[in-house]
Each structure stands twice: as C-alpha cells, then as structure tokens.
Amino acid sequence: ATLIDDTITDDQTSVDDAGCNYRLRPLSSNDHAHGYMDLLSQLTKTGNVTRLMFTTTFDSMRKDSGTYFIIVIEDTVKKCIVATGSLIIEKKFIHQCGHRGRIEDIVVHSDYRGKRFGKIIVQRLIALSRVLKCYKISLECKDSNVSWYSSMGFVREPGNSNFMQMRL
C-alpha cells in the first residue's frame, strides 16, 4: 500500500538525469524497513519509531484521503530511501472553502546531495498542489535554506513574514 495512489505514479524519468538507479514514488507502508526514519533523523529528532508505530500512523494518514502526500526517491540498488518531501492539505472556509498546502519534512540523505533530488521533490510537490487547487502553499525553513527555497519561487510575505510557534 502507498499513501497516494492516483496523483503520483511511479516515475523514473524525472530522476533519470541522476542515473537510472533511482525511483521517485509515493511513500509506501513498508518504507520503515527502507531507512525512511533514518533519513528523517537527518532533519530533526525522530525518537524511536517502531515499525508498528510507523504503520499505525501511515494507515491513519491514508484514511484521511486527500490530505497527506508524501513522496520519496529510492536508491533501487541499495533499496533505501534517499530523499523525501511532504505536501499536507489543509481545508479552509476562507478563499471559497479553499485548500492551503503545507510543504513539510524535506530532506535529502547526506550521501546523495548535489543530485538535485531536493529540487525534484519540491517541484513535484508544487505541481501537485496546483493539481489539487491549493490557493497557496507555505513552508518553514532554516535561515540557511531561504535562498534555496527562493530559487523555486517561494517568497517571504512582506509585512506578514513572522513565523511564530509555541513548543509544547
């Protein structure tokens, strides 16, 4: 089972320029065994996520159909996940009951940087958010990544660019 069945199909062509040993595809329910959590641990603290915890969360995401779109790039020789990114769809009453997209958990494995995998993933998520008719997409990132996201068309909104949070 994969998280998204129709909107993103298995695809080798978009990662072809990086070699034919890679595949862009939706996150799958058995990707815990393919190093998905190890990859995420290069982004932030993951804690200990067992296979059961992973599949339970995966299944509940899948039930919320149309909400979670998680894509990965797999090294098909090593059978491990080397890059990932998510688009989360938030339903709104504003904007004619529109959809807001949130780009989350973008990470490329340290051994696989410089292959444009991050760009391929973000651009794919942007294209997906257009198909899903989001009125906007947004993300939070480190200062050091601002110019990278700017290069893909993200802008800091003038007068409304304060990201606020409360750690709980």
Compare residues 1 and 43 and give the one whose CB is closer to ligand 16G.
Answer: 43
Distances (CA, A) of 55 to 61, 62, 75, 81: 10, 10, 21, 16
Residues 107-146 that bind ligand 16G (CB under 6 A): 139-141
The window from 15-23, 32-40, 50-58, 100-108 that contacts ligand 16G (CB under 6 A) reads 100-108
Q: Which residues contact 23 (CB under 8 A, 6 or more apart)?
A: 10, 11, 12, 15, 73, 74, 76
Compare residues 8 and 122 and give the one whose CB is closer to ligand 16G.
Answer: 122
Output the smallest distance, CB 75 to ligand 16G, in A. Answer: 21
Compare residues 13 and 44 and give the one whose CB is closer to ligand 16G.
Answer: 44
Binding to ligand 16G by residue 44, rule CB under 6 A? yes
Judged by CB under 6 A, the number of residues near ligand 16G is 10
Binder of ligand 16G out of 106, 121, 125, 128 (CB under 6 A): 106
